[in-house]
Amino acid sequence: MYVVGKCRLNEILKEKKLTQVDLALKLDMKKQQVHSYANNDRIMSYQTAKNIASQLNVNMEDLYDFIQLDEQ
């Protein structure tokens, strides 16, 4: 089983030479919303993750680190 870990959005934006504001504008989203995802205050919905991943040309799985829990 996996749980959602750290959001990698800031790292991806840096690699793409984009800012949170750039992404928010491209997706018609509030900058505060992007900020809350990037700083792990909120977890993206499936739809939001799909839209962000598509805009950044990455896989949805790349947006977060996933932590594997020990299976018992």
Domain assignments of the chain as residue spans, ordered by start: 2-68
How many angstroms separate the CA atoms of 56 and 72, rounded?
A: 37
How many angstroms separate the CA atoms of 72 and 57, rounded?
A: 37
How confident is the model over 52-72, as pLDDT tens digits?
Answer: 999 999 999 999 999 999 876
How confident is the model over 6-18, as pLDDT tens digits?
Answer: 999 999 999 999 9
Residue 72: predicted pLDDT: 60
% of the chain surpassing 90 pLDDT: 93
User: Is residue 1 a contact partner of residue 60, using CB atoms and an 8 Å limit?
Assistant: no
pTM tops 0.85: yes
Residue 70: predicted pLDDT: 82
Domain covering 2-68: architecture: Orthogonal Bundle (1.10)
